[in-house]
Amino acid sequence: MSDAAPTDPTTATLGDLGEFGVIGRISELVAQLAPGEDVLVGPGDDAAVLRVRKGHIVVSTDMLVEGRHFRRDWVDAHDVGRRAAAQNLSDINAMGGRAQWLTVGLAAPADLPAAWALDFTRGFAEEASLVGAGLVGGDVTSADRIVVSVTVVGACTVSPVLRSGARPGDRVALCGRQGWSAGGLAVLGRGFRSPRVLVDAYRRPEPPYEAGQAAAELGASAMIDISDGLVADAGHLAEASGVGLDLRSAAFDVPEPLVAVGAAIGADPIQFVLGGGEDHCLMATFPTSVELPEGWREVGTVVEPGLDGPVVTVDGAPYEGAAGWTHF
Amino acid sequence: MSDAAPTDPTTATLGDLGEFGVIGRISELVAQLAPGEDVLVGPGDDAAVLRVRKGHIVVSTDMLVEGRHFRRDWVDAHDVGRRAAAQNLSDINAMGGRAQWLTVGLAAPADLPAAWALDFTRGFAEEASLVGAGLVGGDVTSADRIVVSVTVVGACTVSPVLRSGARPGDRVALCGRQGWSAGGLAVLGRGFRSPRVLVDAYRRPEPPYEAGQAAAELGASAMIDISDGLVADAGHLAEASGVGLDLRSAAFDVPEPLVAVGAAIGADPIQFVLGGGEDHCLMATFPTSVELPEGWREVGTVVEPGLDGPVVTVDGAPYEGAAGWTHF
């Protein structure tokens, strides 16, 4: 950083501001945007200091890599921030917990406009504020491409709902939009920007943040958020529980915009629903004694595992489509 | 991942194993290596579940980027793991806390040997076990270069020691090796591999993990770990406290291997001590009423801030050398 480097964050790059300049600007912004509850010491010291009111915390980490999880020409900085927060808040939601505190590691090229980092932070804090969570620390460093790593810490007022508690006979239910983000990605991948409602769903997922804790209180036996793909994530739940899941394709909601995109590109729109991720909807299993709360729809049944172990079937048969996203 | 891809982790790449294959192997390893205390649910669910025994937790996040913070030809996977853990455990040490749980985000090329990721995990868990901390979760994804992001959660049995509590008249003291890592880096940068003791110090820092909590119990007024460079980090403490720090160059320990390297490359070896980071030694300030515990040496005094605000001086004058590392 030379003495003459610009320091106006609307025009400066990360390299112009330098690491501590960037951290300073982000910390100021965070103090305004996302103070968070029970934060005794926020960003700026060696670690954040947080007051824990209950006996359990839940912790999760997720990364976003430019070119892999987002493209800067498809999603602006503010929305990358929202997505980064949403994807992590959703993991706490899927435990039945309440997200409270987040840290962000941002590795980025030195020529990245500082405004990008600040807009990212604004979007991140905006999403976090939906559940009352605060950004309490992080790190900034240089890399060839943007890599965002988020860790979220949450509290549980009831026992966390694991992936491993599903039992044969339980109902499989879904809460939240599903397939919309995959539809939006398919649209963007073909160079289009509409239907706008799907593109927006890809850019700004709307996880059902109220639903996780409520499902836990109602006695959900297992829960997971759909982030890699519905059939793939259903498989993770089935495997952890040692059960099978049979999904009924007719039970899924296939909204009109997905039908339209399917028709336009010659794809069965149920593929967006069964193979899509990143809407961060919740899948949970409930004992039959539990009346499904509002917002949940039953989409299948927990069954005995197959002869070859846990397996997910659709309408009683193996699913032939893409089950979800693979990271390598 | 094709069906024919090799799955033997001694020869397979990350791409061969696939994301969930990699996570599965790492999770098995973690279960063997670093179970951790008070871990109710470890890796494998949407979040880890942790029992908190005290009312405060401390949380910190730090990243390591290949080519920026390490080179694979200079540091093997096991030692990158140790360094990644050490750098984060040290932040909790600098709060006077006890590190308990860690998460790791690993972004890496698909052609990275899976053995690298597993050796990394082994080294990471080995370092964490030095303080009894456990690896409880994380994420694996693909990127052009290796980016490691670590978050550590710790407990504090006494009030955390912040950077902001230093007062004029306090003594400035240091605990742990300082300058050794910078000396090792200078050696490697010139294509040499000796003095071995310095190269080893660069590869495997040995932070004084016992010292942070002890200093907190004794009444340290402020504390920071030296990770970016001694004068630079001293400046962060001075700024947070609104004071000046005057360091006495003659008070620092300049070990013989640093003297030898200085002579060989024509540099004053005190530069390694004053500008070096990454040994993760601790700098703390103590009221004069506190007798310095064993292992600490007094290296300066807290003074009134300069006319232009907080400033670090060496022997009463501004420091002319490199104060530390800049990330952009």
CA dist B74 and B151 (Å) reads 24
Q: Is any Cβ of chain B less than 8 angstroms from the Cβ of A47?
A: yes
Chain B residues in contact with A113 (beta carbon < 8 A): none
Residue B3 in contact with partner chain A when CB distance is under 8 A = no
Of A3 and B312, the structure prediction assigns the larger pLDDT to B312
Instruction: Pull the structure tokens for residue A289.
Output: 């004694």
pLDDT band at B328 (very low <50, low <70, confident <90, very high): low
Q: Which residue of A has its CA nearest to B158?
A: A49
The reply to whether B61 touches chain A by the CB within 8 Å rule is yes
CB contact under 8 A, B52 and A51: no
What is the per-residue pLDDT across A1-15, written as a single tens digit (0 to 9) for each? 344 567 777 788 877
Q: Which of A56, A50, A62 is nearest to A105 (CA)?
A: A62
What is the CATH T-level fold of the domain A14-155, as seen in this structure?
A: 60s Ribosomal Protein L30; Chain: A; (3.30.1330)
Residue extent(s) of CATH 3.30.1330.10 domains in chain B: 14-155
* A216 close to B (CB below 8 A): no
Residue ranges of chain B assigned to CATH 3.90.650.10? 171-318
Asked if A57's CB is within 8 angstroms of B153's CB, the reply is yes
Is the pLDDT score of B325 beyond 70?
no
- Residue B106, Cα to own-chain centre: how many angstroms? 17
Interchain contact, B144 vs A142, CB within 8 Å = no
Predicted pLDDT at A54 = 63
Whole-number pLDDT of residue A19 = 67
Is the sign of the CA dihedral A118, A123, A127, A130 positive or negative? positive
Beta strands in B180-233 (DSSP E): 222-225
d(CA A207, CA B46): 15
Beta bridge partners of A27: none
Of residues A52, A144, A236, nearest to B56 (C-beta):
A52
- With cut-offs at 50, 70 and 90, classify the pLDDT of residue B1: very low
Residue B113 pLDDT > 50:
yes
Distance CA B236, CA B310 (A): 9
The three-state DSSP-derived secondary structure of B153-185 is EEECCCCCCCCCCCCCCCEEEEECCCCHHHHHH
Distance CA A27, CA A19 (A): 12
Do the beta carbons of residue B89 and residue B133 sit within 8 Å? yes
Q: What is the pLDDT of residue B48?
A: 80
Q: What burial class does residue A24 get, using C-beta atoms within 10 Å of its C-beta: 0-12 exposed, 13-18 middle, 19+ buried?
A: middle
Return the sign of the alpha-carbon dihedral for residues A54, A98, B94, A61. Answer: positive
Q: How far apart are CA A321 and CA A276, in angstroms?
A: 11
Q: What is the pLDDT of residue A327?
A: 54
This model of the complex carries an ipTM of 0.87
Three-class SS state of A40: strand
Q: Which CATH number fits domain B171-318: 3.40.228.10, 3.90.1170.20, 3.40.605.10, 3.90.650.10?
A: 3.90.650.10
Does the beta carbon of A5 lie under 8 angstroms from any beta carbon of chain B? no
- Whether B59 sits inside 8 A of A50 (CB atoms) is yes
Structure confidence by residue, pLDDT tens digits, B211-256: 999 999 999 999 999 998 999 999 999 999 999 999 999 999 899 9
Which H/E stretch holds residue B91? Answer: helix B77-93
| Percent of chain B surpassing pLDDT 90 | 61
Stated pTM of the model:
0.88
B328 chain-A contacts, CB cut-off 8 A: 1, 14-15, 17-19, 22, 110, 142
Predicted confidence (pLDDT) per residue in B141-189, tens digit = 889 999 999 999 998 888 889 999 999 999 999 999 999 999 999 999 9
| Average pLDDT score, chain B | 89
- Spans in chain A with pLDDT lower than 50: 1-3
- In tens, the pLDDT along A63-93 reads 999 998 899 999 999 999 999 999 999 999 9
Of the candidates B202, B203, B227, B291, the one whose C-alpha atom is nearest the C-alpha of residue B92 is B227
